[in-house]
Structure 1
């Protein structure tokens, strides 16, 4: 496994942003981490890269525990893990040229001499679909899609084992999103890096991800192969997310049963007792309000869900509440 997360916890004072999360990502695998805003997805990504210090738990990169490594001992390992941020403008230094931005990791990790940097940067820019003359430009001279391609080039120039992509297309125009997603898909296939792809958009992970993990209020409520999640979502929350995602076929779109969740997402300062989703779940019963369900997979096959009905080997149907 390239990445192993065991019982990760991150609290900001009373705010329980991540509250006991475990994940694995294999060599060359793309895992889509999905959930609403405020579910804790970005916090997971930042903890994985040690940009945010976890409260507890363990994070292993390619078998090595990096949870408590000092900054000095972590520095050489940073070439193996990089991030692509959501906003391609604020994540690029406006005073640096594109060559300086993309080439900086090479110099910091002494992976190339100053004479070699220009050629390495030009080759990487070509891989992400940018012309060689882009090297001398500044971020404000590029479009949003071009800036995100620069962000990808910077993240990939050292050949990392793991890339964390935190909502990498959500700040882009819809017309540009598809081209950037296709680029990420092609780069991942050609370069073979593992990827934690964080998003709220299920249509994106259906296209990119090998597996999906669905997050709600700091915890994983369901995970499994992408095709299985879309074919047979087991958790009522996953079913609701999928029912809200548009499909390109207008006939199918009209015939779909939409699951409308009531209420608001509870505060991570004081999450509900029992199942955290029970305050919005149309299938909740007494046990849901008092007993927290385990992430279980009674049928086997690597598709667990944290729901009492799943534990009882039933497939919930949130579109047909009792």
Structure 2
């Protein structure tokens, strides 16, 4: 007997977010993004700055209203729910922002900040709230002495641990982590990443981990979705994408990622992309990557590629040149050691 497939914690369908830019101009921040995250799964959303990653995260939480598309949380469509109807569902999804200093209220003590979700959702007050807050702070590696301190009295790493405690105090089903370590010193990043990994394993929450750092998602994520200029161009299991990337953009990203072995780094064939990322005010027709792609053909300049799996397993890719028998190699004309 086949075991039933678990309902995704998050399902996003054809999500679009456009911003008006005056004089009839439109910023195409997100254009038709679809993704899903299963129970206890970590999905890494990666891409260059300006690709639309953070906008996807904000639309999922309804911090930014999507232009079109659907967002479903635990099987319920929350896309058009009123703020009042959405409020009880906010227990199930929380966000960790990039900058822990600006995302924490400077007038609140650490104890008040972490207790705020308990108070807002009328779950605990007084002594019971204090007990839960102290236990959560200890869980993220902070002692009870931080309860009466203010955000400016803590280091960047400690403030991000407070952000994690606040996000997890209600034991949500989904956490959106938006570049949670990019604002931290390199020496602190590893300890916070290890903490997130331990908390995710112990608490079992699903996670959308937004980052531009490929080494981070290789360490943390079960699957990866690669974004370029508002669209997902490739998605699949982390190990499979790192071993055999199919989209030329993914190949270029991985070729630029540093590796710890200097000998391997010298031998690696580096794909150096020409030009700049096109403006989301005027995205190019066809495949949005064709203006920088080293293997683009005429079809890429006119026809938008669909995200297809081609019976190649759980590894869809949006590229006209990828078939069941052929995967383009953007590194073929690259130079080793560049």
Matched, 1:99 2:111: yes
CA deviations over 1:103-141 (Å, ceiling 9, x no partner): 000010011122211110000001100111111100000
Structure 2 length normalisation: TM-score?
A: 0.94
Q: Where do 5+ consecutive residues of structure 2 fail to align?
A: 1-7, 21-25
- In 2, the alpha carbon distance for the partners of 1:313 and 1:43 equals 35
- In 1, the alpha carbon distance for the partners of 2:262 and 2:202 equals 35
- Superposition pairs of residues 15-164 of structure 1, within 5 angstroms: 15-164=27-176
Matched, 1:10 2:17: yes
Contact 1:299 1:313 in 2 (8 A): no
Greater CA deviation, 305-314 or 197-206? 305-314
Contact 1:11 1:18 in 2 (8 A): yes
- In 1, the alpha carbon distance for the partners of 2:312 and 2:326 equals 13
Displacement of 1:311: 3.6
Residue 191 of structure 1 is matched in structure 2 by: 203
Number of aligned residue pairs: give it: 322
Structure 1 length normalisation: TM-score?
A: 0.99
CA deviations over 1:205-240 (Å, ceiling 9, x no partner): 000000000000000000000000000000000000
Question: Following TM superposition, where does structure 1 have runs of at least 4 consecutive aligned residues deviating by more than 2 angstroms?
Answer: none
Q: Where do 5+ consecutive residues of structure 1 fail to align?
A: none
- In 2, the alpha carbon distance for the partners of 1:137 and 1:259 equals 48
Residue 221 of structure 1 is matched in structure 2 by: 233
CA RMSD of aligned residues (A): 1.0
